[in-house]
Structures are given as structure tokens and as C-alpha cells.
Structure 1
Amino acid sequence: MVQIGQQALLHIIVHLIFLVIVWWAMQAFNFDAWIRKGKVVQARVLYILFVISIASLVSDFFLKYLQFSTNLSQLFG
């Protein structure tokens, strides 16, 4: 049970780290040119959804890569 809790904590931390990294990286883009007048709220929601979806993809890739690399020891052990 302790290992499951540790895994859950690792997943939460990794997702939050990549969420912050993607948020920071997305600020390099200038989205103001694409926003229609009066649609600021929708643009902010879309921006947040983009950040969440990209962060989710990247963190899932990282966690799967970590899992696969730790499972390689069973191939030779």
C-alpha cells in the first residue's frame, strides 16, 4: 500500500512540475493577435486548456518512460 501511495505522490508532483513548465513556456507566444475583441474570457479558458493538455501529454510520456526504464531490470534479472 505504501508503494501505491508513493506512486500517486510521484504522479501528482510530476504533473504539477510539467504544468508549471508548460505554462512558463507558453508565455513565449503572443496570443493577443489571435484574440477577437470582447472574447478575452474565452481566450483565457482556451489558453488554460492548451496548457493542461500539453502538460498532460508531456508528463504522461515522462511517467511511461520512467516506468518502462525501471521495468527493463526484469528483462535481465
Structure 2
Amino acid sequence: MIAEFGHQALISILSHLFFIALAWWALQSINYEKLLRGNHVLQARVLFIFLSIVIGSAVSNFFLDYLLWSQQLPLLFQMIM
């Protein structure tokens, strides 16, 4: 039982890191130079990091919830029978 929690934690960490990196990669396609005020590059990078974390975490949570629900779905049919 405890080992299962360890596996779930590892999958959650890897999922979050993967989707945050994917969000960072996708945000690189935005031409944000037009939106910047002069000499605020560091602030724009921090904003992109925060956006990557928010988007990546939301997508990862959706993925992990979907995975959990798909694992719990067979339990519905066991209760009926």
C-alpha cells in the first residue's frame, strides 16, 4: 500500500515536470517583445516561468485526474455485479 503511494507520487512529480516543460516550450512561440516595456526582460521571463507553471500544472492535474478516474472505472462494474 505504501509503495503504491510512492509510485503515485513519482508519477505526479514527473507528470508535472513534463507538462511544465511542455508549456514552457509552447510559450516560446509567442512574440512577446511587442508587449514588453523597455528594459523589463527579467520580469517577462519570470512571468513566462509562472505561466508555464500554471498551465503545466493545470494540464498535469487534468491528466492525473483522468488517469485516476480510468483506474477507478472498473470498480463501478464490480459494485453492480
Instruction: With the length of structure 1 as denominator, give the TM-score of the two structures.
Output: 0.95
What is the aligned-residue RMSD (CA, Å)?
0.7
| 4+ aligned runs moved over 3 Å, structure 1 | none
Gaps of 5+ in 1: none
Q: CA–CA distance in 2 between the matches of 1:39 and 1:27?
A: 17
**Which structure has the greater CA radius of gyration?**
2
Task: Please report how far the alpha carbon of residue 72 of structure 1 lies from its aligned counterpart in structure 2 after TM superposition.
Answer: 0.3
Q: CA–CA distance in 2 between the matches of 1:15 and 1:8?
A: 11
Instruction: With the length of structure 2 as denominator, give the TM-score of the two structures.
Output: 0.90
For residue 38 of structure 1, what is the aligned residue in structure 2?
Answer: 39
Aligned length: 77
Task: Please report how far the alpha carbon of residue 64 of structure 1 lies from its aligned counterpart in structure 2 after TM superposition.
Answer: 0.3
Task: Please report how far the alpha carbon of residue 42 of structure 1 lies from its aligned counterpart in structure 2 after TM superposition.
Answer: 1.0
